[in-house]
Each structure stands twice: as C-alpha cells, then as structure tokens.
C-alpha cells in the first residue's frame, strides 16, 4: 500500500510544490531523484543523477532524511550507506524487473554451484542479493571495475543478461550470466528504430546497455544515463535518438534547448512501453505524504545491511580507483 492510501485524506487545494519545500526544510531532508522520474519531481529535487551518483550523494549528505525518488533498490542502497538517516521512498511498490528476476535463494544456489567464480552484481538487485555478491557495479562503473579484476578470475554476472552480454562483448571477458532483463529496455523495437534512423540519417543513436544486443548494435554511443547526457552535450549535430527511458529527455531539453531529442520507439512504434512503470509510481502527492509522515521508510536488519555494504563499499572504492592491487579478485563475501 502507498503512503497516500494508508494515511488517506484529501490533498486537493494544497500547493504541493510549496508544501514539499516547507517540509524539506522542516525535516532537514534532501530529495534525490533518478533521471527516469517525472519532470516535476526532477525539477524540485536537490540532486538528479544516475545510480552511482545517487549512491555517492546518499553516502555524503548531512541531511537527516533522504526522500528517494527512484526505485526500491536505490533507496535501499541509500539506507545501507547511510544507516543513521531516515530514508523514505514515496511508493514502496516501486520495484524493478531485474530485482524481481533474481530471488536471493536461487541466486545463492547458483553461487554455490560455481564456487570458483566471484559474483559481480548490477546494483539493480535486492539487499539480500547484494549481501550474496562480491562486488556491485552500476552501468557507469562496470567497465572500470571489470578492468581491475584479474583476467583469469571466473565471474558470475547478474541479474541483467543484456548489460552482462554487452560487457562480455566489449571486454572479451567470458562471464556466466544470470538471465534477468529490464522490461523497459527490452521493449525497444529494432524494426522501428531502423525506420526512425532512415527518417533521421544524420542523428546518432545513444543506448543504455540494459538494451538487448539488437538495439545496442545500432548505437553510436552506449552508456549509463549520465553518460548518455554527456554524449548529448558533446555530440556533433543537433538531433539525437535516445534508446533509454524517455524521462531523461527532460534533462536534455532543459540543458540543450536548441537540440532535438527523439525517444526510440517500442514495438508498435507508438506505445508507452518504454516508460518505467515502477519509476512512474512516485508522484508529487506521494512525495509530499512521505515527507509529512516520514513513511514509507526503508528498514532492514543490521546483519543484512552490513553484509550488503561490503559489496557496495567495494564498488565505491573500485569506481574511484582506490582498491590496492593485492585486494583484487578475492571474494569479499565468504562463500557458503
Ligand atoms: P543508470 O542511471 O545507473 O544508468 O541506471 C539505469 C536504470 O535502469 C536504473 O534503474
Ligand atoms: Fe528496473 Fe528497468 Fe525500471 Fe530501471 S528502467 S528501474 S532497470 S525496470
């Protein structure tokens, strides 16, 4: 149940933007938002970023409350890194198909079946799966982290088979892939993309590595949300085809109003299937209620938090390039 449903009451007539600003000050709260959030939420956030940036902000903030406008695994990451803070997620049902694809008991069995492999896990997974992993990666840090792992070290990569497949093709590493997908990036249509490219032959394509290979193969740039934004800024020309969740286009249009950004199409060329249904659960109303009631809150046992923190700390160190060579390739989490 959402915070709005639980507390009830009409919010009609409230100036939500003003009320959120008031509560943000009263609560000493920081509002963190992912690029896939609705434009109005991005516009009022204290910080908008990709998964790695948001983790770093959550770790560094001196606010008492983090209102996380993103999905549950992101808010959980904030809590793992900043346990003394209250972390609220406007809608606790804001999950992720990648997280759902990887139940911890099945992942644990998979690890146990491959005792000579370390587990490199995409941040889009539950705290339990993080606790079972050696190193977490985001789309913006995966290549850098992979390059620091000895070439002869066997690796399990989960839960995103498309990101794992992209990394394997790009780096030549042979990794065992967990078969999860992002339902949003999976829905892009190659046929429709090719039609769009034919209509805009001058426009490059930027794709997120959560896209399947048949989409990534047509991209001029492949990278995380923040990487795609940087590419939009520096690319030659003034039109870009964007193969990721379309709410990111809001940031592009704000920063580069003279350029044209075209969302890559889904199956029938005209569906809303590339809007993340989980991200879309967060609304201004629910954010207001979350700041007012400090609910719904992310909670977890200290044992789980500490176990999950090891693989996240390893990500933050390796993404910053601060891990000593002697540490590399050793499993962080003792294998069962
Ligand atoms: P990044 O913002 O880290 O590229 O991740 C994209 C995503 O799908 C988050 O769920
Ligand atoms: Fe998960 Fe895909 Fe939504 Fe990102 S866009 S939160 S990977 S379902």
pLDDT tens-digit series, residues 312-327: 999 999 999 854 433 3
The tens digit of pLDDT for each residue in 258-286 reads 999 999 999 876 777 799 999 999 999 99
Q: Establish whether residue 160 lines the binding site of ligand 1, counting it when its CB lies within 6 angstroms of any ligand atom.
A: no
**Best substitution site from 95, 210, 211 to test ligand 1's pocket, by max atoms within 8 Å of Cβ?**
210
User: How close is the Cα of 116 to the center of ligand 2, in Å?
Assistant: 30
User: How close is the Cα of 51 to the center of ligand 1, in Å?
Assistant: 6
Q: Which tokens sit at 170?
A: 């790009």
Give CA–CA dist 6/322, Å, rounded.
45
Structure confidence at residue 252 (pLDDT): 98
Structure confidence at residue 261 (pLDDT): 97
CB 122 within 8 A of CB 161: no
Give the percent of the chain with pLDDT over 70: 92
Domains of the chain: 3-95+279-293 (3.40.50.10800), 98-180+302-327 (3.40.50.10800), 184-274 (3.40.50.10800)
Residues with CB under 6 A from ligand 2: 36, 71, 96-98, 124, 182-184, 210, 245, 276, 278-279
Which residues, at least 6 apart from 108, have a Cβ–Cβ distance to it below 8 Å?
Answer: 132, 336
CB 96 within 8 A of CB 278: yes
Ligand with the closest atom to the CA of 280: 2
Structure confidence at residue 273 (pLDDT): 79
User: How close is the Cα of 50 to the center of ligand 1, in Å?
Assistant: 6
Among the atoms of ligand 2, which is closest to the Cα of residue 245?
Answer: 5
Which residues, at least 6 apart from 118, have a Cβ–Cβ distance to it below 8 Å?
Answer: 134, 135, 149, 153, 154, 155, 156, 329, 331
| Predicted TM-score (pTM) above 0.85 | yes
Structure confidence at residue 322 (pLDDT): 56
Residue nearest (by alpha carbon) to ligand 1 atom 2: 50
Structure confidence at residue 336 (pLDDT): 28
Ligand with the closest atom to the CA of 99: 2
CB 38 within 8 A of CB 280: yes
* Segments in the chain below pLDDT 70: 1-9, 269, 322-336
Given its phi and psi angles, is residue 151 left (phi above 0), alpha (psi -120 to 50 degrees) or beta?
alpha
């Amino acid at each position: 149940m959402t915070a709005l449903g639980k507390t009830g009451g009409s919010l009609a007539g409230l100036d939500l933007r003003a009320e959120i600003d008031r509560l943000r000050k009263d609560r000493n709260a920081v509002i963190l938002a992912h690029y896939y959030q609705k434009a109005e939420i991005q516009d009022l956030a204290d910080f908008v970023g990709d998964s790695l940036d948001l983790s770093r902000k959550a770790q560094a903030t001196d606010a008492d409350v983090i209102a996380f406008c993103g999905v549950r695994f992101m808010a959980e990451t904030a809590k793992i890194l900043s346990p003394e803070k209250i972390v609220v997620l406007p809608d606790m049902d804001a999950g992720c198909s990648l997280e759902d694809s990887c139940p911890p008991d099945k992942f644990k069995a998979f690890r146990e079946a491959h005792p000579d492999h370390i587990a490199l896990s995409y941040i889009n997974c539950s705290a339990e799966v993080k606790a079972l992993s050696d190193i977490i990666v985001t789309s913006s840090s995966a290549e850098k982290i992979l390059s620091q792992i000895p070439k002869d070290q066997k690796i399990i990569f989960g839960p995103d088979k498309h990101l794992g497949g992209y990394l394997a093709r790009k780096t030549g590493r042979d990794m065992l892939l967990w078969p999860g997908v992002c339902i949003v990036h999976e829905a892009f249509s190659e046929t429709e993309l090719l039609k769009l490219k034919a209509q805009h032959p001058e426009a490059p394509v930027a794709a997120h590595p959560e896209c399947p290979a048949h989409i990534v193969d047509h991209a001029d740039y492949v990278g995380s949300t923040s990487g795609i934004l940087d590419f939009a800024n520096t690319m030659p020309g003034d039109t870009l085809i964007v193969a990721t969740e379309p709410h990111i286009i809001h940031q592009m249009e704000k920063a580069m109003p003279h350029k044209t950004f075209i969302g890559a199409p889904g199956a029938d060329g005209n569906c809303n299937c590339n809007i993340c249904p989980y991200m879309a659960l967060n609304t201004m109303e629910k954010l207001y209620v979350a700041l007012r009631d400090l609910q719904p809150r992310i909670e977890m046992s200290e044992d789980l938090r500490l176990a999950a923190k090891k693989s996240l700390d390893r990500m933050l160190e390796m993404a910053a390039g601060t891990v000593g060579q002697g540490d590399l390739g050793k499993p962080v989490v003792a294998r069962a």
